[in-house]
Structure formats: structure tokens, C-alpha cells
Structure 1
Amino acid sequence: MLASTGIAAVGTAWYVAYLTVGAGSEALAYVFVPAGGVLATAAVLHMLRGGALNPVARRFWRALLGAAGVITIGYGWLAVDMLTHAAEARTRSMPLPAAACVAIGFGTAIWAVARVPVVLPGGVEWWRMVLDRTIAFLGCATVLWYLGLAPMFSAEEPWSRQAMALVGLAFLVAVGAATKVSYVLGGPVDRVALRLVAASGGVTAGIVAVLAVRFGYAAGIAAQAVVMPLTPVLATLGVAAQWRADLGLRRAPARSGVLLPYLAVLAVDVPLVAVAAGAPLGWPVRVVLVAAVVVTALVGARQFIAFRENARLLRNTRLQEERLQYEVSHDALTGLANRALFRDRLATALAATAPASVLLVDLDDFKTVNDLLGHGVGDRLLVSVARLLRAEVGEHGLPVRVAGDEFAVLLTGADADPEELAGRLLSALNRPISEHRLLVQASIGIAAAEPGATVDSVLRDADVAMYTAKQRGKASFVRYADGMGEPVLAHMQLGGELRRALDNDELRVVYQPILRLRDNRLVGVEALVRWHHPTRGVVCPGEFIPAAERTGLIVPLGRFVLRETCRQAAAWSSEYGPDALREAGLNVSARQLHDPDFVSDVAAALADSGLPCERLVLEVTESAVLRGQQVSRALYELDRMGIRLSLDDFGTGESSLSLLRAFPAAIVKLDKSFVDGIEIDDGQPAAADARQAVARAVIQLARALRLDTVAEGIENAAQAAVLRELGYTCGQGYHLARPMTADGVSRLLARQQTVASADR
């Protein structure tokens, strides 16, 4: 690169010396181009040998290598001819073989540049680019025609065929190269390298042609010594740019060709100014006028396309803004307004002090639908509920999907009756909906916007009323009243305190013994959890277990009870022997079984404690068993591990018998409701007979299926006697033993061991 630049500098210096002091023969002007051409050819060859080029780029540079070599040979031939005939250099024409070599070289370069791939846009953008290229080509060609080719054709002394061919080819290279490279955004051939290569041939050839036509032989000498040696310099710079691109220094693509059509239009105006200044209206000028008219028409067409495209873009932008605004303010699944729009409309109503009411609608037991039928069915059910809300609310309110299975309705206006609407909604939900014909119920909380209310206070009141409706049995509506939120708030606060209790070790595990009915021997225990609150004392499970279920804390709470039970059962087995306690059981909720880590938590607790799998009993209610495929998979995995599963509260559900076929149960626990009053009480013999019949049926079914049985809730000796006569071998209840600490169970085991030793 330095060498080629030095040759161009030497050529310029010689030309200055030639003009000032007449240094050297005119034939020396023809030496600088082939000397620089040798260096440019060497640079391309060096890159092809050492560069890791893309196949497309390698094809391009190979073609340029051939073009540079042939052009160098042609100009070398010309230089030798001029030096040989130095005395005739001023009048001598370019030898035909040399002109042929140069023409072939230029043609090869044009072909190489034309083959460089350009990423063409589609549709309207493609037509815009075609128009831009046509305008650019005609604009540049018009200027070069007026300044170069037209004077050549109209010259009094005719030009040689070689000169006319080379000048015409030079014009074609200049115009075509400018048009082509202005629209190359990127690709295997570096765009800067491509522009330098195009400029090396096109720009210099155009300048030389114009100079030669306008200023004759003297300008030709200047072109050979000053202008044309720039061609190898630019070509070598192009090679350097390609090297940098292959080294990872490629420039980021930029939009090109934006200004070229406008510059071309400006270029057309240059000959028109000359015409307006009084230039003779010959046929070269007429060509300029025709070109100007064509360019103007093309510019008009381009502007029309741009106008149409801009109008389309503006229309699409407006549609996109409307769609985005809709998506921001509406639920994607149901199409109802979302929480953000709901709060905005409620805030507007409160600011206007207009009468407003809010209905908060929460679907009851919607999670069961997802668990049993899948989320797809659940989503379609939500869409059906949204459709029902629209139909019932009509134009009198705003139906909203707040989140999940929770909906809301905003009613404004003095004539709106929220209670009447709530009644209609509950009635409509009494009929099957969705394509699956599902029955769904809802709990509705109603809150009115009182003077001074805020958005948050109205929503809080509606939420409290809805929660109260759920506590009263679901499938109902409740209107908020003063003081209603206190017990609800206390229940919510209980969840936060329970989280603290887990962290502060306030929970204790107690154990209710399971005894053999014929001799009151301890055979197992059921683990129960107790909460020793620092200020409220002992909190009963019936109060904090629902809070744990609602907040999801039942999972860490259950994990704590599981690990403590396994640890303690293993300790008893180690101290009193493996036969001292047959089993240790604990209750497992549906929420725990839905936890994907539950089975691994059980395995980890058994492994850490060393308790054998068959000594652990997990008690599951009938309602939990019916909670979907995840629960079923977890239960069967636990059964395959050897853990015994107990069906708790048996007989209280609607599918108890069918459950015994689908559920891998090992133990059936007769519910306390069938034990209460099982003894013959005076005045109610029929009720006792019915309970005995149920208890007898359960024991017979269990024997047929080879299941163990445990009777729950035994509260007196008569109940124990009746159950023993019916065939029950094990039971638990306050009559047999109350829940006790681990130390209490240890004392029972120690006493039992002492009695067994004495009997031996």
C-alpha cells in the first residue's frame, strides 16, 4: 500500500517537474500506471493466498486478480510502446493489443462487481430501489455524456476506435460502479473494499475520459502521470479493507444509496443550466433534455411510491398503536378489560363522585377443573364465563378479568343494582357452560364506592365481602358491611404469623397413639402439629391449617412434620426395638401432593432418618385422591417405594368404593362420623343400627381387599366394644389415648416393654 502510494506521489512530482522545467520525455508518463498495477496485482494475490475468504468473496477477488493482471499487461504494453517511440509519443495511438487487454480487464472488473450479491428487498421496497438505481444511472450518465462522450462524437477531428471504445467503457464503469456499490449494504465482500475497487476503476476512468475529451493530449499526459496511478492505490486500499473485515473488524451495515438519487437529479440540472445559458441546441443537448424529462418522471413515480408507502406505514402504525393499547388494557385470553383498565375506570368514577359499585367474582374450586381436566379445558371455561359476564352485564357496566379465575364488574350510575346483577350471575352459573357442559359456582363480593373512598379501599372491601361469601358456604354473594373485614384480616394476618412460626421454631409435633383394641397395645402413632403462639398460646389446627393451605405454607409445614416424624420414629425403633412400633403416620394434603418435589422430600426424609419405608404411613383424604393426574402419579410412586398409604375419613366421599380400585391403599380408616353413636343408645336404636351396618360393610370390604382397618374417634368403652365385635382390630380416639408429646409415647413404649418382659 505504501509502495503504490509512493508511485502515485512520484508520478505527480514528475508531472509538476515536467510542466515547470520540462523534465524528461513525455513517454515517462506511461510508466507509473503499470508500475502501480504490478503492486495492486501482488496485493490481491497475497490476500488470496493468505486470507480465509468466503467462497463468494474469493470468486470476486480472483476475477479482480485477472482484471488487474490483464490491465497491467495492457498499460505495460502501452508504456513499452511509448518509450520505444518516445519521439512520436505526442501523436501515437494506443496499440490495439494493449487496448484489447485494457478493455478485457475493465470488462472483467465490471463483471466481478456486477456479480457481487445484493440483498434485494421485496414488494414496494424493491420497486423503490429499482427507481433509485435508474435515476442514479441516468443522472450520472447524463453528466458524463454531456461533458465527455458528446464532445467526443461531435469533435471535428475523429477519435481512434481504441480511444472511443476505452472512453465509452470508462464511462460505463464509472456510472455502473457508482450505481451498484451505493446499494450494497453488506455481505461476503466488504462494502468499503467494494467501493474502493469500484472507485479505482470507475471514478478515475471517468475523470480521465472527461479530461481527455475536454483538454486533449496535455490532459492525457496529466491523467497518465497523476490521475490513473490512483487506480492501484485505491485497489490496494480495497484489499486492506477486505483483510480488516476478515480479521473481524468489519463495519456495521449502514443504509446506503439514500442520497444518490437526489444527487443524480442535481447532476442532471448541470447540463440544463448550460442549455439555459445559451448552449446550442444540438443533438447532444437534446439527449440531455430527454434524459432530464425521464429522470423527472422517474422521480415523480418514486415520490408517488414513497407517498403510498408512507401512508401505509402511518396506517399500520396507527393500527399497531391501537392494538398495543388494546393489549395493554385487555386480557389476552378472554378479551375482557384487565386490572389496569379496571382501576383506571374506577378511579375516574371516584373522581367524578358518581355512584359506583364493584362486584368481585371468584370461581369456586376452579383449581379442581385444571387438575382433573387440564388447563386447556380450564381456559375454555374461563372464556365461557367471560362470555356469560358480557351477556349479563350488557351496556350497564364493565366486565373485567382481574387475575386467574377472578373476575370483576364495575357498575356506575344511580340505577345500577349490584345485588340484582349478582343474583342473575349466580342463576346463570347454575346452568352448564362451555363446550364441556361444566357446572361452576362462584362467590361474589359487593362493595359500594362511599364518599372519600379510594380505588384500593373499594377493592379491599369487595375482596373482604367475597372472602366472607366463601366462608359462608360458597355459591353466594355478600355485600360489604362495616366491621366485616376484621375477622378476615385476622385470618390473613394469621398466614404471615405462620411464616414467622416456621422460621422461629414455634411448631411442635404431637402423636396420637393407635392401639390394638383387644389388649390396648400400642401399634402405631398419627403425627399431629400444634402451634405454640408466643402471645395467643396454643392455636388449634382447625384455625391455622386453612391459612396454611390458602397461603401455600402447607408445603413447608408438611415437610417439617414429615422430617420430624421420621426422625422420631427411627429414634423409637433404635431405643425400643424394631417391633415396638409398627407404623408412624401423618396427614398429607392435596396441595402437598401437587408439589413436584414431594416424593423426593419423602425419600430424603427416610434416607436422613434411616426409617424403613414400610414403617411410614401417609394418610390421604378421599377428596385429595380425586385431585388430578399429578396426585395420582405421586401416590403410585410412593406405593412403589414401599410406603403404606392410608385412605383417611373413609365413607364420607361420593366415590369411596371406586377409589379402592384406583387408589393403592394399604389401610382404610373408618371416619369418626360412623363411630359416633355406634353403641346402642336409648331412644335412637335405628341410628345406631345404621352406623353399625356401615361399619360392618367397611370391615367386610377391607377384608375382601386385604386392607388393614383403623376406627377413628373412639370416645368411650362401649364404642370400642362394638367395633371389636364387628371385627376392627385397631383404633384411635380420646378414650384410648389423647395426643401426646414424644416423651409421652416413649413412656408408653417403655411401660409396654416392661410388661412384655414380665410376661416372659
Structure 2
Amino acid sequence: MRLLPVRASLSVAAFAVTVFALNLTAPRGPEVLLWLGPCGAVLVPLVSAWRVARMPDLPAPTRRFWRTLAVCLVMAGCGAAAHGYDTIHSPSLGRHMSIGTISLYGLTMLLLLWSLIRLPMGTSGRGDVLRIALDAGTVMIAGAAFLWHFEARPQLEAAGYRPATLLAMTVTLLLELVTVFAIMKVALAGQAYIAPGALRLLAGALLVGALSSLLQGLIEDRRHLDMVQLTLPAILVCVTAAAERQRKVGVTRATREKAGRSPFSRLPYLAVAGVDLLLLISVRSGADLLPTVIAVIALTGLVMWRQVTAFRENAELLSRLDHSATHDALTQLPNRALFTERLAATLAAGGPCRGIGVALIDLDDFKIVNDTLGHQAGDVLLVAVAQRLRACLRPGDTAARLGGDEFVVLLEDVTPDEAEGVMRRMIDVLTEPVLADGQHLLVRASIGIAGGRLGEEPDEVLRRADIAMYAAKHGGGGAVQRYRPGMAGAVAGSAALGAELQQALAAGELFLEYQPIVSLSDRRIIGAEALMRWSHPVRGRIAPAEFIPVAERTGLIVTIGAWALHEACRQFAAWRQEHGADAPGTLSVNVSPRQLADPDLVAHVRAALAGAGLPADCLTLDLTGTAEADLTEAAQRLRELRDLGVRVALDDFGTGQASLTLLHRLPVDQLKLDRAFLDPADGTGVPMPSAVLALARAAGLEVVAEGVETADEAAALAACGYRMAQGFHLGPPMPGAELGQRLSSHQTAVTS
């Protein structure tokens, strides 16, 4: 808080107190000196309030309040000047003010009231608004009772119930009630947008103003004195200090959100106690008994209303707490505790029931979504899955979220086949893309189903469903598996394989073999595809079909794939250096959907090429499993790779889902025809290799035929117009050194 404005305001107030004290017993000096303090005291808080109103970092409601308060200060100063003029130059008015002075004071209070009404209360709902209204009403009724008993009635009795007296007293009472309301508004609600220290000072200023009329009776016999001469400078000191406090503290979002219990929240209780005391006084004195009883009855009604509201709010709070304890905060599905409770009740209940099914659902590749798009996109995906689960269930079934990306469903009164059918329909529903953060995300889930029997423990049923879910996941994901005895051993073996795979790369157990890509016209090796292999120290060679899916599920394929890329580029560079023009012209390396989703893939490719000193156009990335990829993200990543000069091939073309759609949406340079289309005796009469070749030529793409295992197949492909092929007939996968020997001896194909 800046001390200079506060000291200046205190100096003016001290001057007003000094002049008031000197004139307390009798007039001393010009009477105008008594009004210099109240009029001059407006200047300092006016400047301070205007400075606060111009602070750009304050919320708009706060700046607007202080701007209006500055206008109120100008009007209050004019009102004080008019009041002084009435006192000095219009002795016929006696203790009363002119209509002009009353109007200025009244407009000031109305403008202040309007600014307070516009000030947002920062409440959390209708309950808070009602509570504040009831508390304000309680204080205002108490204030009206006190003002009538101690001010209005005595003055009316002394001056007589004349129309002019009644009008003046009515205006005075209304202004004082407005002041009481202003105190309540600031005290009970204003702290949402006013700094707490400033709040207390403003409430204190309004309280001093409300007491001014009550104190007036102490100097009733001294016509030259008025309590405004003393209280207005004190009020303006509080306003100056409040403005400077606001300038120092400001109001941040955190301050508004953490605004706690108002320091004036006990005012309603004090108001009730005060009216009860006033009732005792009225009973004893016999004066104002009826108005006081009416006030007590009104307060009793408000207090009862307030208590009923509090009871209702407490009940709603308990209901929300109970819901929070048993439901997931994000998806609003039952949580693990509530699901276990319902499952236990179902397993313990008797009665006719064909059986129950428990389905454990785990989202495939959810970690990739979180890592690449952020947790907000992951939350959107989880909420969408929860909504789809609800939509698929029958009345009486239960869906819950266990945590992370795991959901569970309890199906009652179903056979095992019916439960599996429900889950397969759920798989289909989940496959619809979800729009999150501008991306269309493909949802894949692995679902395990286990049946439950009467009297079983819930944990045992969940354990079996968990085993079945992992079996579905180890089978490639996106599938439903029903629990079978002995399944636990197979799942455990697959899990153990994943743990061993983590150590295989560091232990040097992984290596690459290279399958030649051959020109069908002269059998010359024109390219090579790098294929990953694993030599286990105990189990020997493990087939790629066994460990590659494990690497995909665990995410290890990203690390292993980056290693394979660097190792293949190193070997390719060695061939080029050793064999020159006889070296393969292109190198093909497989890239999986998980690698394609990795934001560092482009950087890995760039680093591998630079480390081996290779041009980008010699590298071809073979896309595998693209039906599982996010096509929007994949297309963007592939465009970045092609900008480097890297070529892209669509592997296993013709199999999987929507190959033509992939061809349309992904930027590719080459198709690799799957072996499934090489068998001429498929019964369709359609020459698929010729059809695919025509399609590729129309799209301006190269074609490589895969899986050529016989001389007849090679001859048929050459007759169709194929230039390149690979397969065991043309050359099996082999170590890099062996392929180098073939290059040296110009041995290009296996002799049939």
C-alpha cells in the first residue's frame, strides 16, 4: 500500500477533527472552516480510485466498480458542499437539509448501490445467491428496527408528525437502509472481485456512514455542528486506504477462485441477537413493542428459511460426496469400488439366472494418444468410450471404469455366447473414429470375458477376465477372447517374452537379415529388405510372428525399429562402399503403426541417413499394418518423410482393411503385392497381378511382388509385366555378410 495518499487523507481528516473539536462547545471562527474538511477530503480518494479503475491487469468488473466509485466521490463532495451551504446560509431549515442536498446524497447512494448490484458475487450457484439474499434481508430488517427505535421515532415525536418532517425522515431512513444493504453486499459477496483488505475498509466506511445519523443526537443542541463534518473525512480515509490496497494486491484469478468465508459472515447472527435485545428493551419500556415484534417474526421466518436451505444444501453435498466416492470423476461411470460391490451382490444373489458375464476392456495404443496428442485428447477419448459403453448395454447391466484405459462390464442373465456377442457388437461400435483435438482417433480395444458362478469371489472373476483380456491383446488386439482353463500359462509366457525382449536389444540378441529384391528380367539384385530376427539364448531363434506383436503391444517396436533403421543404413553403406555399382540400389525397412505415430520418426530417419552418409532416395519405408494407423497423422508424417526424399511403400497390398482407401489417402511411391494374389487357381478367373499392375501404372507407382516361391510364379509375373519381385525362390533372408558374398560372386537367385 502506498502511504503518501493515505497520509494526505489522514491529514485532511485530522484537520476536520481539530476544527470540530475547537467548535464543540461554541462556534469559533468562520463556520465555513467546519465544511472545508468534508469537501476537501474527497480529492485524495478520488485520485486513488481513478488510478485503480485504469489498471489494465484488473478484471473488468473490478475496474468498473472503482470507476463508478470515483463518480460517487464527486457527487458526495458536491453533496457536502450543498449541505454546508444549507447550514450556513439557510438557518430556516434548522436541522434538515434542502431538497437539492438530499437529492445529491440520495443519487450518490443510489449510484453506489447500482455499482454494488452490478458487482458479480462470485457465487457457485443459486444456493449461494439465496443464502446471501437471506442474510442481507436479516441484517436489513434488524437495521430498520434499530433505526426506527433509536432515530426515526424519537425525532418524529420531537418535531411532530408533520408532512415535511415525515418526508425528510422517510428519505433519511431509505438512505440509511441503502447504506445497510451496501454493507451487506460488500461484506457477504464483494470479496469475489475486491481485494480482501480493501473489502474490510470499504465495509468499515459504509458502517461509519450508517452510524452518522445515530450519532447526530449527541450534538442535537449545537446547530452549527453536523456529524457529517466528522464522519465524512473518516469515511474518505477508509476509501483512500481501500483504493491503495487494491492497487497493491490486485485481484488474480486464483484469488477469486480461492475466496474463502467472508469475515463478515457473522453479521446475520449479530443482527438476530440485536433484535432479540431490542425486544427485551421494548417489553421493559413499553415503547415500539409492536414494530419490534413484527421484526422478530420476520427474522424468525428468514432464519427458518435459511436453515431449511442449509439442510437442503447439506443433503445435496452429501449426495455429491457419495457419488464422487463411488463414481469416476472423468467419465461418471461407477468406479472399481462400486463395481466390485455390485458384482459381489450379483454373485451372492440366488434366483433364476442363466449366468453372468464380466468383460474387461482395455484400449489398445491409448498411451500413444496421450504421448502424441496430450492428456486432454486422451480424456476426450475416454469419455467417448464411456458413452458408447452405456449405449451398448441393456437395462440392469453395469459399465465401470477401473482406472487408466481399463473398463469393465457386468452382464446379468446371459449365456457365454450371448455375452461374447454383446462384446463383439461393442468392438464394432468402438471402432467408429473419435474426434479429439482436431484428430480422428481410431479406437481399438481388447476384451476378455469370464463367467461367474454363485458364491464366487469378485476378485477371482475379475482375474479370469483379466487373463482373457491379455490373451486378446497378445493376439494382436482389437479382439474378444473368452476365458478358457490353461489360458493363464499362455498369457504369462507372452508377458515373460515381452520382459525378455526388453533386454534382448542391449544383450545383442537382435539382428537383421536381408532378403534380396530381384529384377525379373536378368535376376540381378537391385534392392534388399531388412528383416528383424531374434536369437534367444535358451529358446534359440524366435519367429518374428511371435515377438513382433509383443513389441507392438509394449511399445518396444519404436526403440527396436529405430535401432533396425540405423543398423540397416550402416550395412547398406558398407555394401555401397565395397561393391560400388554392383551394390543394391534401394534399401527397404519396415515401419509399424506405432512408429508412424512417433513424433520423432522423421528425426530418426534423418539421423540414420546422415550417420551412414546415404542419400535419402535410396531408402524405402515399408508401411505395415496401416489399417490400424491414424490416417490423418500418418499422411502428415509421410509427407514430411517424402520431403526428405525418402520413398514410401505400401506393404502387403490387397490384404487387411480398405487397401484402396489407404492408397488414396496415404502418399506412397510403391506397392508390394501380397503373395495371396499370386495363386492363379483361385477360382475367380480374375488375373489379380495384372489388375494390380494396371492400377499401379495408372497411379504412377512401382510394384514389387512378394512371396515368389516357384519358377512358374516368377515367369508368370514377368509375363504380366512385373519388373521386381522377392521371395524364397529369388533369395531367402540372409545375413548381411552372406548377401555381400552373393554380390561379389554375382550370384543373384536360388537355383530351382
Please report the TM-score for the alignment, with normalisation by the length of structure 1. Answer: 0.70
RMSD of aligned residue pairs (Cα, Å): 5.5
Distance 1:46 1:399 in 2: 66
Structure 2 equivalent of residue 112 of structure 1: 108
Relative distance call for 1:462 and 1:610 in structure 2 (3 A) is same
Contact 2:586 2:620 in 1 (8 A): yes
Structure 1 residue 572: Cα displacement? 4.0
Moved more, 665-674 or 582-591: 665-674
Distance 2:336 2:31 in 1: 77
Distance 1:172 1:655 in 2: 79
Structure 2 equivalent of residue 58 of structure 1: 70
Q: Specify the code of the residue in structure 2 equivalent to 1:136.
A: A
Distance 1:467 1:232 in 2: 78
Q: Tell me, what secondary structure is at the counterpart of 2:26? A: helix
Relative distance call for 1:580 and 1:32 in structure 2 (3 A) is farther
Structure 2 equivalent of residue 247 of structure 1: 247
Structure 2 equivalent of residue 313 of structure 1: 313
Q: Tell me, what secondary structure is at the counterpart of 1:585? A: strand
Contact 1:140 1:175 in 2 (8 A): no
Q: Tell me, what secondary structure is at the counterpart of 1:390? A: coil
Structure 2 equivalent of residue 408 of structure 1: 409
Contact 1:510 1:741 in 2 (8 A): yes
The 5 A counterparts of 1:295-310 are 295-310=295-310
Relative distance call for 1:171 and 1:626 in structure 2 (3 A) is closer
Contact 2:579 2:743 in 1 (8 A): yes
Distance 2:244 2:382 in 1: 59
Structure 2 equivalent of residue 95 of structure 1: 91
Contact 2:693 2:722 in 1 (8 A): yes
Structure 1 residue 574: Cα displacement? 5.2
Contact 2:515 2:529 in 1 (8 A): yes
The 5 A counterparts of 1:330-729 are 332=332, 337-346=334-343, 359-360=358-359, 386=390, 389-390=393-394, 400=400, 407-409=408-410, 421-427=415-421, 444-446=448-450, 458-468=461-471, 478-481=482-485, 483-502=486-505, 506-533=509-536, 536-573=539-576, 576-577=579-580, 580-595=583-598, 597-599=600-602, 601-603=604-606, 605-606=608-609, 609-621=612-624, 624=627, 628-632=631-635, 634-635=637-638, 638=641, 642-652=645-655, 665-672=668-675, 707-715=701-709, 728-729=722-723
Residues 1:143 and 2:137 aligned together: no
Moved more, 187-196 or 494-503: 187-196
Structure 2 equivalent of residue 152 of structure 1: 158
Relative distance call for 1:352 and 1:502 in structure 2 (3 A) is farther
Equivalent of 1:67 in 76, 79, 100 = 79
Relative distance call for 1:33 and 1:600 in structure 2 (3 A) is farther
Relative distance call for 1:675 and 1:566 in structure 2 (3 A) is same
Residues 1:231 and 2:222 aligned together: no
Contact 2:331 2:386 in 1 (8 A): no
Structure 2 equivalent of residue 209 of structure 1: 217
Q: Tell me, what secondary structure is at the counterpart of 2:518? A: strand
Relative distance call for 1:378 and 1:631 in structure 2 (3 A) is farther
Structure 1 equivalent of residue 734 of structure 2: 740
Moved more, 545-554 or 641-650: 641-650
Distance 1:655 1:500 in 2: 37
Q: Specify the code of the residue in structure 2 equivalent to 1:272.
A: S
Structure 2 equivalent of residue 86 of structure 1: none
Structure 1 residue 56: Cα displacement? 0.9
Contact 1:647 1:665 in 2 (8 A): yes
Relative distance call for 1:635 and 1:579 in structure 2 (3 A) is farther
Relative distance call for 1:250 and 1:487 in structure 2 (3 A) is closer
Distance 2:248 2:229 in 1: 30
Contact 1:137 1:176 in 2 (8 A): no
Greater Rg, structure 1 or structure 2? 1
Q: Tell me, what secondary structure is at the counterpart of 1:500? A: helix
Q: Tell me, what secondary structure is at the counterpart of 2:583? A: coil
Identity %, equivalent residues = 27
Structure 1 equivalent of residue 256 of structure 2: none
Q: Tell me, what secondary structure is at the counterpart of 1:611? A: coil
Q: Tell me, what secondary structure is at the counterpart of 1:184? A: helix
Contact 1:110 1:173 in 2 (8 A): yes
Relative distance call for 1:703 and 1:98 in structure 2 (3 A) is closer
Contact 2:635 2:667 in 1 (8 A): no
Equivalent of 2:186 in 184, 188, 191 = 184
Distance 1:361 1:53 in 2: 59
Structure 1 residue 552: Cα displacement? 2.4
Distance 1:247 1:747 in 2: 83
Residues 1:265 and 2:287 aligned together: no
Query: How many pairs were matched up?
Result: 673
Q: Tell me, what secondary structure is at the counterpart of 1:581? A: coil
Please report the TM-score for the alignment, with normalisation by the length of structure 2. Answer: 0.70
Unaligned runs of 5+ in 1: 16-25, 79-93, 277-284, 679-685, 754-760
Relative distance call for 1:646 and 1:401 in structure 2 (3 A) is same
Relative distance call for 1:577 and 1:245 in structure 2 (3 A) is same
Structure 2 equivalent of residue 48 of structure 1: 46
Distance 2:382 2:309 in 1: 44
Contact 1:171 1:205 in 2 (8 A): no
Contact 2:631 2:666 in 1 (8 A): no
Structure 1 residue 289: Cα displacement? 3.5
Contact 1:445 1:477 in 2 (8 A): yes
Deviations 1:590-642 (A, max 9, x none): 33334455456545544555533332222235764887444455556655665
Q: Tell me, what secondary structure is at the counterpart of 1:118? A: helix
Structure 1 residue 298: Cα displacement? 2.5
Structure 1 residue 546: Cα displacement? 0.9
Relative distance call for 1:33 and 1:535 in structure 2 (3 A) is farther
Structure 1 residue 545: Cα displacement? 0.1
Contact 1:674 1:691 in 2 (8 A): no
Deviations 1:305-356 (A, max 9, x none): 4355345435544554565456449954xx6x44342234456789999999
Contact 1:268 1:292 in 2 (8 A): yes
